Structure 1
Amino acid sequence: MTYEETIAYLYNALPMFSRIGAAAYKKDLTNTLLLCEALGNPQNHFRSIHIAGTNGKGSTSHMLAAVLQTAGYKTGLYTSPHLKDFRERIKINGAMCSKQFVIEFVEKIQPLIATVQPSFFEITVAMAFSWFAQEKIDIAIIEVGLGGRLDSTNIIQPLLSIITNIGWDHMNMLGDSLEKIAAEKAGIIKPNTPVIIGEYLPETKPVFSNVAASNNAPLIFASELFYVSDWQYQHHKLEITITNVHTNEHVNYQLDLPGVYQTKNIIAVITAIQQLQQLGYSISHEQVFKGVGQTKQLTGLHGRWELINQHPTVILDVAHNVDGIKQITAQLELSNYHALHIVIGMVKDKEIDAVLALLPITAHYYFTKAQIPRALDEITLQEKAASYLLKGNAFADVNTALEAAITQAHKDDLILVCGSVFLVGEVNNLVLGN
């Protein structure tokens, strides 16, 4: 098979969550264990850090990977979903795995696929672990796909686990309370393995404490070690001062991920680096500063308050749930613009009404959809939005919607594309003339 044929096979032959939703979610680790056993258990041949959370786990994973590779470690990075290229999910030192590896892996594992009938995600996890083992990496940052306890990535034995935060998302699969969602995320806590909690709520802290205690896992609440004492968002850069709770020492960082929500993620990253230093990893302050300051360049992260055009300003952000949209609206309050245009599309299984209720009624809206079966059609979204006094036209795809927004926008306006990872992934820079 060619690379294109291989990717088509993966998309079409295997249940894929991004396309069909909960039906693709396998509620146990059996398939992943069978696949990896047949491959020689590659997950046992490299060290890893495991990262879960409702929001922020992607940014946290990329910042931590950027720091480690800056410090000279051959660093694997497994994340999901991808925006443009399937291979974005599997990187080493910021470089995607080769097309030839994807072809050879799928050809090798095809007979097992027929027997095991795994999901798309289970195959990609096994593929990533195989690539990392084959390339003899020093350490891998592994981002959880969904939940934690039953996520395919949860067959690793990491050096360190991180849970960024708990919020309302995927309740149909993870539970209808914050405690239940926290319990699923806490499933990545391993015996005798330190776990860092980036943020907690009164409802979730006891869950983490109980699971950590039952596993004899050292529990570290990042906010009890560090806090952001000052920050500035200027010229699409985020300058942050982090203070050590115990020593009162102040350290300044400049992040190339300018979303103000990174003030929360950076605390977990700095805490993780401290833990890695205690485990014997050689990471200097200068390397931390460079890593978090060049995360996009070093790892290829996109879609986090990402500026892709000026005059008018066009921003892409993958925020798609209630907590993510709250962070977006806070960012908008800090931004300078004449008028606001929002290109939005969502998937059917999100808290659509709760998200729409948070959006500003003064913006001009362009309702659209990603080209996947899970997408809510643009007319239904437009009708739902109208009940929240959000007004605008409907468009069949994101690029048509973005083109209309650019046509209508003044050069001092801001255009935001959000609501779905898949929608952001379909944005074509040719619309902007880039």
Structure 2
Amino acid sequence: MQTISSFAEAFDYILTLKPPATHKMTPGERTFRVSRMRIFLEYFGHPDRAYQTIHIAGTKGKGSTAAFLASILTAAGFRVGLYTSPHVSDPAERISASMPLRQPSRLRELIADIETMLSQFAPDVLPGGFDITPFELVTLLAFLYFRETDCQIAVIETGIGGRCDVTNVIQPIASVLTPIDYDHTEILGETLEKIAKDKAGIIKLGVPAFCGLQPPEVKAVFREESRLQQTTIRFLDEALTTFAAQTLRDGTVMTFAFDGMTPQTVPLRLSGGFQAENAALAALTIRHLFPNLSNQVIGTGLSEAFLPGRMELVADTPPIVLDAAHTPLAIRRALEAFQQMFPGEAILIFGAVHGKNYAEMARLLSPAFREVIVSTPGTFKQSEPEDVFYAFQQHHPHPRLEVHPNNALRLAQMLAEKQTPIFVTGSFYMVAEIRSLLKTA
């Protein structure tokens, strides 16, 4: 085995073991993956039971809400693990823990243990055969890593959906549901109700659930699932007695309060009113789980949380803001935040992967930008930049197509003349491409 001393090297090695699938996932395959994960965890002595967990599902704001939760728990003195996906710049963004491994070489040993496990299972032993995905192995690595680093609580974000996601093998102390939108409809369903039904699969018997802002039809699905699971669910809009958010270029100032709580004002490092909503959902969850935590601890945790690629201001001349929004709802909220940060004309770099609703995103974004540049969001996932360009042609007078992200960035910078702000959005992978180019410039 090659030398592995970082998560980047571990992630690359896992991709050599199991390359990403090139076909669409079927409902049956999703079920197989959950069953396989249970077998893998049993093989390793159930590492997921060595610590408590908080489980998060949703379409928008999962990663940010997870980061807020982990940051509050860290501020409270817990040893915390955080598992999110995908990463923007570094695979280490996916798996993090308060404490490091006792020996750096242990990461290589964990990968070797996983490889040994794979060699010991014959295809006919595993549900669905040997069509194991990299996401399954990275998730397994996270569960093992959190045990190795003596985590007390791990915050676990789902990959796709909830009910049949490979993370849905844990018994959490709380289930958290962020806003639902149309995404992965070919897998989860074509309606918000069907998508919500899948996401609601993380609600467990007797485990309290906490829910961000949702349309009425989604609320109804979550209420019914909570009833079936004989548990309580708290909705953010019903719990808040005070809420206000001011978006700044370098973050957000939020004021919030729940029943019986003095209003609290907290500066966030993440910009956008929707980030204040994510922060409030995290605070609501923590308030219930740990009622004795002080406002100061919660405020400290919220103010220290950060994730790259979320309304992230990465340059000043010209200003460049990155946001990984990739659904119409997320685009609408991100655009609102960007225009609060930078009123006036601006330049857009946009790239979306295959299967996303880029036609609706093009409709929402086009009127807000003087210049639109469509590009390719990397090569990790399939994309059709020419089709995306055509979608923008329906709504913008003169969009431009620059297939190579480097050319798209250079064109945007030239058009900006060091002063017009540039907004990069459409997918995690578009943000990752531009962020990487800026770091190496």
TM-score (norm 1): 0.91
Q: Separation in 2 of the partners of 1:340 and 1:321?
A: 21
Equivalent residue in structure 2 for 1:193, among 176, 186, 207 = 207
CA contact (8 A) 1:344 1:365 kept: yes
1:292 aligns with 2:292: no
Question: 1:167 maps to what in 2?
Answer: 181
Q: Separation in 1 of the partners of 2:19 and 2:388?
A: 26
Equivalent residue in structure 2 for 1:307, among 306, 309, 313 = 313
Equivalent residue in structure 2 for 1:388, among 395, 402, 425 = 395
**TM-fit CA distance, 1:131:** 0.8
Q: Separation in 2 of the partners of 1:345 and 1:97?
A: 41
CA contact (8 A) 1:165 1:198 kept: yes
Question: 2:14 maps to what in 1?
Answer: 10
Unaligned runs of 5+ residues in structure 1 are none
**TM-fit CA distance, 1:433:** 7.2
**TM-fit CA distance, 1:24:** 11
Give CA deviations for 1:270-304 in whole Å, capped at 9, x if unaligned.
211111214xxx532112111111112xxxx2011
Q: Separation in 2 of the partners of 1:324 and 1:214?
A: 30
CA contact (8 A) 1:223 1:267 kept: no
Question: 2:147 maps to what in 1?
Answer: 133
Residues 368-379 of structure 1 mapped to structure 2, 5 A cutoff = 368-372=375-379, 374-379=381-386
Task: Give the letter aligned to residue 421 of structure 1.
Answer: F
Equivalent residue in structure 1 for 2:293, among 279, 283, 286 = 283
CA contact (8 A) 1:304 1:316 kept: yes
Give CA deviations for 1:384-417 in whole Å, capped at 9, x if unaligned.
2212225332223323211221122133311011
Question: 2:278 maps to what in 1?
Answer: 265
Counterpart of 1:253 in 2: which secondary structure?
A: strand
CA contact (8 A) 1:20 1:373 kept: no
**TM-fit CA distance, 1:263:** 2.7
What's the RMSD between the two structures over aligned residues? 2.4
Counterpart of 2:290 in 1: which secondary structure?
A: helix
CA contact (8 A) 2:99 2:150 kept: no
Aligned residues: 425
Counterpart of 1:233 in 2: which secondary structure?
A: strand
**TM-fit CA distance, 1:113:** 2.6
Counterpart of 1:358 in 2: which secondary structure?
A: helix
**TM-fit CA distance, 1:93:** 2.4
**TM-fit CA distance, 1:213:** 1.1
Residues 22-421 of structure 1 mapped to structure 2, 5 A cutoff = 22=25, 26-28=29-31, 29-93=34-98, 100-114=105-119, 115=121, 116=126, 117=130, 118-244=132-258, 246-247=259-260, 249-278=262-291, 283-296=293-306, 301-361=307-367, 362-372=369-379, 374-389=381-396, 391-421=398-428
Deviates more, 1:144-153 or 1:20-29: 20-29
Give CA deviations for 1:54-82 in whole Å, capped at 9, x if unaligned.
10111000011111111111100001111
Give CA deviations for 1:350-394 in whole Å, capped at 9, x if unaligned.
112111111133431111112226332333322222122253322
Distance 1:333-1:5 versus aligned 2 partners, 3 A rule: closer
TM-score (norm 2): 0.90
**TM-fit CA distance, 1:209:** 1.4
Q: Separation in 1 of the partners of 2:66 and 2:309?
A: 14
Distance 1:128-1:250 versus aligned 2 partners, 3 A rule: same
**TM-fit CA distance, 1:36:** 0.9
Q: Separation in 1 of the partners of 2:256 and 2:82?
A: 26
Q: Separation in 2 of the partners of 1:154 and 1:164?
A: 16
